[in-house]
Amino acid sequence: MTEQSPTRAADLEPVPGLRLYSLYFNPQQQAELRDAIRDVVRQAPLYTPVMPRSGRPFSVRMTNCGPLGWVADKAGYRYQPTHPETGEPWPAMPPQLTALWENVAGFGAPPEACLVNHYAESARMGLHVDEDEQDFDAPVVSVSLGDSCLFRYGGLARRDPTRSFRLHSGDVLVMGGPARLIHHGVDRIIKDTSTLLTQSGRINLTLRRVTKPGLNA
C-alpha cells in the first residue's frame, strides 16, 4: 500500500459537516483499493437486497466487510455479523479503509461496517437517510471508485431543497455533525468516466460506526 498524500477538504454548502475530499485516493491507490475490494467480494459475493415488506429488489448489488454488515430484506433493515446468503462472517476491512477512517472521521472508535455497493450503469439510489446505527456521533465516510456519479443531497426533512454535484473516482465524502442525518442519494451513473473497473459502473464504499463505543455489537 502506498503512503496517502495529504488532501484538503471542501465544506459543501449549506449543510455544516458535509465535507468533500477530492481525489483523496490517487490513481495507484484507487487500483490497490479496487483489488482489495475484489478480494472482499471473492469471500463475500455481491447479492441483490430487497425492500422490506414489498420485496422489490434494489438496483444495486451489495456486500460488506468488517465485523458487521448492513442488510435489507423483507424483514427490514439491520446489521448482522454474517452474509445473508452464505452464512459466513464478513471479511476483514482492508487497511486502506481503516486508515482513511482514522484520517478523516474525527471519532475515537473504529468503523464496524463497510457497505460495498456496486452500481451498474442503470443503477440508482433514491433519497434516504443512514439511520440504522446506534451512534449518530460518528460520521458516515463514503469512497467512490470507478465511473463518476451525480450525487444529490438535501436536508434533514425529505422535502428540503436539494443540490447535486459529481463524485469522481478517488473522492471521499464525509457526512458528520449536522450533516449526519441528511437525505442523500445517487441520481445516475455517468458512463465511461473512469477506466478503473473492467466494465462501466461504480463502486461505493460506506464506512459506518454501528454501536456506541463501550457497548457490544
Tens of pLDDT, residue by residue over 180-209, are 999 999 999 999 999 999 999 999 999 999
pLDDT digits over 132-159, tens only? 999 899 999 999 999 999 999 999 999 9
For residue 6, being part of any structural domain is answered with no
For residue 175, being part of any structural domain is answered with yes
> What string of DSSP letters covers the chain?
-PPPPP--EEEPTTSTTEEEETTSS-HHHHHHHHHHHHHHHHHS--B--B-TTT-PBPSSEEEEESSBEEEEETTEEEEESB-TTT-PBPPPPPHHHHHHHHHHT--SS---EEEEEEE-TT--EEEE----SS-SSSPEEEEEEESEEEEEE--SSTTS--EEEEE-TT-EEEE-GGGTT--EEEEEEETTS--SSSSS-EEEEEEE--SPTTS--
For residue 143, being part of any structural domain is answered with yes
pLDDT digits over 93-137, tens only? 999 999 999 999 999 999 999 999 999 999 999 999 999 999 899
What is the extent of the structural domain holding 144? 11-208
Question: Mean pLDDT of all residues in the chain?
Answer: 93
For residue 5, being part of any structural domain is answered with no
CATH number of the domain encompassing residue 55? 2.60.120.590
Instruction: Supply the pTM of this predicted model.
Output: 0.93
Number of domains in the chain: 1
For residue 133, being part of any structural domain is answered with yes
The answer on pLDDT for 1 being more than 70 is no
